[in-house]
Structure 1
């Protein structure tokens, strides 16, 4: 019979004595507590790693947002009435990049309490499933923003003779360095989101 997490197995044995009396049946107890504790242990470890990765993702996404959002450069000329200026909001791709990474940063901050719930209650499915869904959405959003910005950064560095697009990084060197760094930070955030999706999938496994 079963009681709680323990399973009791009775095995009857007969004695070969002169009176033919049956000997007392030994009892074997098999418990599932150790298995449950082991499962909770590795799931809690995944949840802790998930929380740490979210902190790194916040740093990467915020760095990408603030770096791109504060990037502009004005070339000095003889008069203040004739100047060349490059700013991130001159190009829609960079504006989309800032918005996408800002949304990702805000989501990551809001996801921290759910990640903590997964640490405290490693078998909770609701919080982990919610994180899996939104992490998948954030993978698409951050990847799209980073890819769009990367295409413009490439043109800024190399230009395109067929489209008559000249390279501007020889003049706007500081501008190009900052937008390149922002794109790298955004791709790092996208990779971390991919890892978070994998971790959530592992944590949702039954075994």
Structure 2
């Protein structure tokens, strides 16, 4: 509009402030010193590393299971004792194949040992691929089957071992371990080793469940 002029105010920067960064305002509270905020660094461990560690322990347990199951089968298969006092017509002999429970025990533990050997490569795959779930599901399923097989074999053999040590007066079954001492020691050791295999197989099932 005519007769009106607009004035522009120009603020001139002082010379001593040119080219310098503006001063930082002091923090509220009157303190000029700034406090450092602590930074919490979380561990670098991931689920993959956790599962890889479980897979390594899984391999170790399978190797131990092979040793116990194979030891139980070998101990039972080599159980044979003949008493020194015998005649030309009579021999007093005790062998594992005289009882079907001991034969089943031998076969079941041999199957368990073979199974654990065959599953070691699958467990190694779980180390290389810790996030893979399909191999772990397969291992957990068949480990559960082996738990049932080995437990039934060890339980059946344990009942026969008990009768061999103590007999049964109601059924008129005498104890034979006083005469066949070596035979009873071997079958007892085989049963203990088989139950150790059961514990290892149960631990493998739990490990697979935790990994999943």
The answer to whether the aligner puts 1:197 opposite 2:201 as a matched pair is no
Q: Which residue of 2 aligns with 1:146?
A: 154
Aligned: 1:48 with 2:56 = yes
Match among 166, 169, 173 for residue 174 of structure 2: 166
**In 2: Cα distance, 1:78 partner to 1:62 partner:** 33
* Shift in Å, 1:202: 0.4
- Secondary structure of 1:81's counterpart equals coil
Pick from 128, 131, 135 the counterpart of residue 120 of structure 1: 128
Q: Considering only aligned residues, what root-mean-square deviation do their CA atoms show, in Å?
A: 1.4
| Deviation of the 1:76 alpha carbon | 1.2
Could you tell me how far apart the structure 2 residues matched to 1:44 and 1:80 are? 64
The answer to whether residue 89 in structure 2 is matched with residue 81 in structure 1 is yes
TM-score, normalized by length of structure 2? 0.78
Q: TM-score, normalised by structure 1?
A: 0.80
Structure label with greater radius of gyration:
2
Higher relative contact order, chain-length normalized (CA < 8 Å, sep 6+): 2
Q: Which residue of 2 aligns with 1:61?
A: 69
Q: Which of 181, 187, 191 in structure 1 is aligned with 2:189? A: 181
C-alpha separation in 2, matches of 1:74 and 1:145: 25
Specify every segment of 5 or more residues in structure 2 that has no aligned partner in the other structure, as ranges.
1-41
Q: 1:153-192 CA distances to partner (integer Å, 9 max, x unpaired)?
A: 0000000000111000000000000000000000000000
Structure with more strand by fraction? 1
**Aligned-pair distance for 1:78?**
4.6
Shift of 1:81: 3.2
Q: 1:131 maps to which residue? A: 139
Deviations 1:63-104 (A, max 9, x none): 000000110100012534321000000001001100110110
